[in-house]
Structure 1
Amino acid sequence: MSLAERHEMMTGQDATWEGGMGSVGDYIALLKPRVMSLVIFTAFVGMMLAPGQLHPVLAGVGLLCIAIGAGASGALNMWYDADIDRIMSRTKKRPIPAGKITPDEALVFGLTLSLGSVLTLGLVVNWFTGAFLAFTILFYVVIYTMWLKRSTPQNIVIGGAAGAFPPIIGWAAVTGNVSLESLILFLIIFMWTPPHFWALALFKSGDYRAAGIPMMPVVAGESSTRTQILAYAVILAPIVVSPYLLGFAGPVYGGVSSALSAVFVALAFNVWRKREGDAARKAAIRLFSYSILYLFLIFALLLGENLLTRMV
């Protein structure tokens, strides 16, 4: 059964796509460029923090393959989720529900990029890294998109691993293996993901409810979600500081990351405290917006301190 037929069966609506009208910009949109930029950055930090060296050309090719692999995952995610993307206000203008690209075109595009990025990364860098990228794409598309997203409120908790793998892939590109340090980088993103997405889900819960997606606020209620956001924020704080505690980041990182984490916990507490009306919505939006800056600054600190250490 095609995706269009599946959508028609689920919603009783005519699900047709014009196809063949997609511009370069539409295909770029399929790659989820904002997500891709975060993947590139965290993978680059993983490369830079890893012991050893990788030729700049190989590092560039490796980052490009990781970026393309992430984009391929986004395209395949949009291919599978086109039926619910048409329902949700924040996604209904994506290329497939907007009728600019057909599901089949997106599928071929995503599969081609997946295969090309994995094979190139394996041939040019090393096969362990290529296999890890393949596993990441598979995890995001099959485990998260096709299974967890529509079946459990823990979708973001487990599925968030896919977004946390890039620094490990970057590390493995240099070393050919995984270490404690790279796992800490993974844990930072992994534990950051639930409060980040649940903050979004709090003020977009109507979208998820309409699309039948069992996000935490829809299934467990907003009160439980707010409590879990705060709990994850409290657990995340020492994990973020742990690179300093474990000795692979310096005192500047230790101090600044502690301050940034304190702000994150305070905003999460504000979400937990303000439960009604416009104040509750603003608190969730504030946490969601800060969470993006927070993760970027944490990895920028790790990168900047590492570069300064090398220069000295």
Structure 2
Amino acid sequence: MRNLSVKARVTIWFTLLMLLITAASLGFVITVGGSMMESYSLTRLAEMVNDNADELRYGKKGLEVDDDFEPYAGGAYTLIYDEAGTLLYGRVPAGFNPREPFLEGEPYLVGSSGGDFYLYDRRAEGGRLWLRGVLPLSAAGGFPLVAARLAFFILPLLVLLAAAGGYLIARRAFRPIDKIVAAADAISEGRDLSARIGLPPRGDEIHRIASSFDNMFRRLEASFEAEKQFASDASHELRTPTAVILAQCESLERGERTAAEYAEGVAAIRRQALKMSKLIGTLLQITRLE
């Protein structure tokens, strides 16, 4: 991780965060949604059996079933038995034991050779008939399985989209940093002291940093230009007295001179030397001020 770029780190962090959020959300949906779906299925099972109980008659002519009777709806089956437990009407779901004893009350779960089933039993026609609702567990709790299958396909897609989106956002956000680094490298190598980042003014942190760097580069360039001008001016100011001193020395070395001429030449040299000393002192004072 230490050798990764900031863009790569941001992308990895964003991807992991999205993966965690997506997984937690799907887990919540599967858990809560499955429980709600199961509760709804059991409620619907009881309602279907109670509604079907009003659609049948059992008398001297035997069992009469109205057209509104629903033997199968929403994955649940409704079976009709007589008092002895003989199946009179309805289709038994595959794997279910039709001889399962009756237990009137709330829906309950039983195991069978073909799997687990929710049952809801109630008496009808004054106790002469039994109505049984049969709901396979896979139909009652099928939502988590469906959600898990969807998650298996959706989750990788979301992770890929999060990674791609995070990388694009990070690359665009850190693009000014590349310009800052390029400008700093150009100036540090001495190629171009006038190099600027030149980002448009904005309120975010990176653009404010770029503006601060541009101001720093501008002051740095001005400092170098002032130093160059200072060196040029100092050279010019020192060149004149040096030329005078050299000229006087050459003149005094050419031949015999009177004492007055020697005194005049030495005085001129002294004046120029004092001028140079004063100029050097001024330069040293400016350097201390800088």
- What TM-score, normalized to structure 2? 0.24
More strand by share: 2
Larger Rg: 2
More helix by share: 1
